[in-house]
């Protein structure tokens, strides 16, 4: 008789989130939303007018979790918890999503230069009709950035698909003077909060 290890589905394309789950020994399988029948793209992450950052990140994460569990059932996959996450950067209440291109990323970095901003990472787990979520909020302070440093960073293309146009674990780590909160949360998956959330679903965690 084979013993099936406890596992979850990760409904995220982020390689950073995969790395972080592996780091703490969580067994998971990928569940890509865009490949489900009748869906041509991922969940719409466009903020609503005047939507506050925490309300936004919670809403998007919840929608991803619900869509992920619906995709699981549609494909008749074995039932395990579905984990999703969403991260956004906020400066003065303004939401900084993923940049459209290098020019857009440059605009974001110029606004973040020399400023303190928030990084909000929401994590949700769905199992049947039951969905729970948590939000990690970290404060990050950038050093003043010269045009030369910004342009050099843009040439790395590291800004692509990153909230706020930067990744703390990459070259932009050199921009950060101070961080208060969760390093893994700024990466995109706060590990402490993720483990606490999985425990609510009786998943064996470290």
Report d(CA 200, CA 129) in Å as an integer. 14
Report d(CA 134, CA 97) in Å as an integer. 19
Report d(CA 15, CA 188) in Å as an integer. 10
Instruction: Tell me, letter by letter, the H, E, C secondary structure of 163-200.
Output: HHHCCCCCHHHHHEEEEECCHHHHHCCCHHHHHHHHHC
Token pair 């950073």 in the structure block, residue:
16
- Which helix (DSSP H) or strand (DSSP E) does residue 123 occupy? strand 116-127
Report d(CA 10, CA 30) in Å as an integer. 5
Catalytic residue among 42, 44, 50, 86: 86
Length of the chain: 206
Query: For this structure, is 42 an active site residue?
Result: no
Enumerate the active-site residues: 86
């Amino acid at each position: 008789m084979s013993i099936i290890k406890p596992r979850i589905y990760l409904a995220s394309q982020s390689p950073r989130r995969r790395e972080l789950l592996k780091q703490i020994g969580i067994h998971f399988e990928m569940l890509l939303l865009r490949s489900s029948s009748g869906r041509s793209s991922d969940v719409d992450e466009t903020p609503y007018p005047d939507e506050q950052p925490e309300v936004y990140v919670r809403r998007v994460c919840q929608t991803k979790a619900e869509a992920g569990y619906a995709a699981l059932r549609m494909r008749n996959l074995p039932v395990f918890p579905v984990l999703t996450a969403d991260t956004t950067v906020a400066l003065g209440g303004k939401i900084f999503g993923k940049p459209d291109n290098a020019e857009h990323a440059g605009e974001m970095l110029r606004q973040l230069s020399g400023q303190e901003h928030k990084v909000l990472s929401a994590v949700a787990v769905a199992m049947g009709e039951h969905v729970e979520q948590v939000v990690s909020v970290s404060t990050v302070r950038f050093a003043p950035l010269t045009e030369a440093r910004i342009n050099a960073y843009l040439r790395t293309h590291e800004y692509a698909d990153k909230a706020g146009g930067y990744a703390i674990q990459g070259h932009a780590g050199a921009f950060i003077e101070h961080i208060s909160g969760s390093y893994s949360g700024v990466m995109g998956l706060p590990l402490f909060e993720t483990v606490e959330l999985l425990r609510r679903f009786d998943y064996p965690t470290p």
